[in-house]
Amino acid sequence: MAHAGNPQRGLEISQVCQSCHGRNGDEALQPEYPILAGQHEDYLVYALQSYRDGRRQNAIMNGFAQNLSDQDIEDLAAWYSSQQGLYDLEMD
Ligand code: HEC
């Protein structure tokens, strides 16, 4: 599925996320904070929408997702999915 996310804007609006997920989403400052870098874009969009509308319950993330617009979610997903993941062993 094609998304219209702008990764540069995603970086700019992800300041508030960095204290837990790291600048590139490749840090987990606590073991329970998931790595976002290299995650599939569709999955990140789905996860953030789910936190926003309460389908996925987490006290921390429900709060942070509350203020995100659809465009914010697309842009954040574009940023993290374009970063190199920890296990990014491309086979092709
Ligand atoms: C105070 C720490 C903290 C901050 C700040 C924070 N997160 Fe999270 N994030 C978490 C935790 C903890 C989880 C795991 C929650 C769960 O178990 O569902 C999580 C989960 C996620 C997930 C789901 C990942 C997965 O693998 O399912 C996404 C996507 C995400 N965060 C994006 C963001 C974005 C975007 C921001 C900024 C708008 C942000 N987070 C800010 C702590 C944080």
Q: Are 52 and 68 in contact (CB under 8 A)?
A: yes
Rounded to an integer, what distance in angstroms lies between the CA atom of residue 38 and that of residue 72? Answer: 18
- How does pLDDT run along the chain (92 residues), one tens digit per residue? 456 899 999 999 999 999 999 999 998 888 899 999 999 999 999 999 999 999 999 999 999 999 999 999 999 999 999 998 876 555 55
Task: Ligand 1, residue 68: give the atom nearest the CA.
Answer: 38
Phi and psi based region of residue 22 (left: phi greater than 0; alpha: psi -120 to 50; beta: remaining): left
Q: Determine the distance separating the centroid of ligand 1 and the alpha carbon of 55, expressed in angstroms.
A: 15
Rounded to an integer, what distance in angstroms lies between the CA atom of residue 43 and that of residue 29? Answer: 21
pTM, two decimals, is 0.92
User: What CATH number belongs to 7-81?
Assistant: 1.10.760.10
Q: Which residue's CA is the nearest one to ligand 1's atom 40?
A: 17
Domain ranges of the chain: 7-81
Q: What is the pLDDT of residue 24?
A: 94
